[in-house]
Amino acid sequence: MNVRHKRLVVISNRLPVSIRDEEGGQTLQTASGGLVTALAPIMNRNHGHWIGWLGQNQPDHVDRLVQDFNKQGSYTIQQIPLSNEEIEKYYLGFTNGCIWPLFHDLLPMATFNQDEWDAYVRINERFGEAAAKQVEKNDFIWVHDYHLMMVAQVLRKKKVRQPLAYFHHIPFPSPDIFRRMPWREEILNALLSFDLVGFQSLRDRRNFIASVREMVRGAYFTRKRRHTLVHLHGRSVRVGNYPISIDFEEFDEAARSQEVRLEMAAMKAAFSAETLILGLDRLDYTKGIPERFLAFERLLELHPELIGKVSLLQVVVPSRIGVQMYRDLKEELDSLTGRINGRFSEYGYVPIYYYFKHLSRAELLAHYRACNVALITPLRDGMNLVAKEYAASHVDLDGSLILSEFTGSAEQLERGAFIVNPYDLEGVADAVYRAITLPEKEQHKRMRSMRSQVRQNDVHRWVGWFTDGIEAT
């Protein structure tokens, strides 16, 4: 079975398109992102089909937009509509109010609500039923992420026999955390309805296997070097870890462009500090941004000679502002910024530059190149591609990366990055000091190692790993 020559049917919560306003009306355009970039060649070559939700704000003429897109593209999309109540219960409720915090080891923030679980099951059934009507004999079906963990079970009930693969983009918690989930057995059995289940890291794979071992009756295991086979009800499910990545060549080439160089020069001229430390995150409590601010404050307390010389440039991308927990987080960041800047600001010097906004592509790459250090310290993260993007963008081999040990990317970048515990404020402060005082030769050695790792294991190789995995099942 060569899945690379089969039609690929992708099922994900969001479609790979966004609505754009143009002269004469609206259109659907392919969104940017690593997953879309990686899957586009296969989708285009074999006329694939992508099933998903377009987003919360949908115009009345969305069906026409989808039809127009399908007429023009080499692959097709299918919109799964959601009502406002379904968005509230399935998306904001169960997936982001229960699964997201629980799977990121933040148990106190997780809520367990029967109505929201019921909505999650219903939406998964809707996605699965829509896919069952579309799949053809030789299709390869690939489901993505925690929003749709139940889909394979629906497809099996519909007598779909095609290969079913699932990739879990976020962390998978330890059994001690996961067992708090009231519907833990339902979720595990649903995931074991796939032929291949993939995780970002070896730790996530081990957590999943441990949970199955403790909570699923009748399962037994065969361990291989690169994967584990789970045997249950006469079937074998391949479970592996396949760390997702980025398009290294695309970042490397774009970072060298004249537009990015000019943007970078303008950035450096705009800030008085000779050393810039970059924080770049979506607004989320898993990203460890308050802890990062406190670690930077500790750095200035321990090394007052750095006051006036080092600034933290924190960009927070707006996300889920309608949710009270996220509004509270933004207020906390506003307050911390004001307090720390009040302590350490001097004439012409600002310790923390804090921006709450989206960045254009050129601005993003300029931020990567202009900053001497990237401080990437999530409390828990499945992979964290910002770390890999930072390395791929540093074409001059300058720059240092400080990375949380609780990210999937730490497994791959540990030889070049400074690995830290984000809860250890003094440890993070010490790592920042070491990074900004690192000799140039050692800096180049570390950056060269990280760039080589990301280049060799790019997003295209990730797709290859995964398709090889399904072919072996």
Give me the active site residues, please: 169, 381
Residue 24, number of CB atoms within 10 A of its CB: 6
Closest to 146 (Cα-Cα) out of 201, 82, 91: 91
Q: What is the dihedral of CA 332, 371, 388, 314, to 10 degrees?
A: 10
Contacts of range 430-433, beta carbons closer than 8 Å, 24 or more positions apart: 431/402, 432/277, 432/295, 432/296, 432/299, 432/373, 432/375, 432/402, 433/299, 433/302, 433/303, 433/306
Closest to 340 (Cα-Cα) out of 294, 275, 289: 294
Q: Amino acid letter at 463?
A: V
Q: What is the spatial distance between Cα 38 and Cα 247, in angstroms, rounded to a whole number?
A: 8
Sequence-distant (≥ 6) Cβ neighbours of residue 243 within 8 angstroms: 200, 201, 383, 408, 409, 411, 412, 457, 462
Closest to 411 (Cα-Cα) out of 421, 419, 422, 401: 419
Identify the helix (H) or strand (E) that includes residue 263. helix 258-270
Convert 206-242 to b/e letters by CB count within 10 Å (16 or more is b). bbbbebbeebbeebeeeeeeebbebebeeeebbbbbb
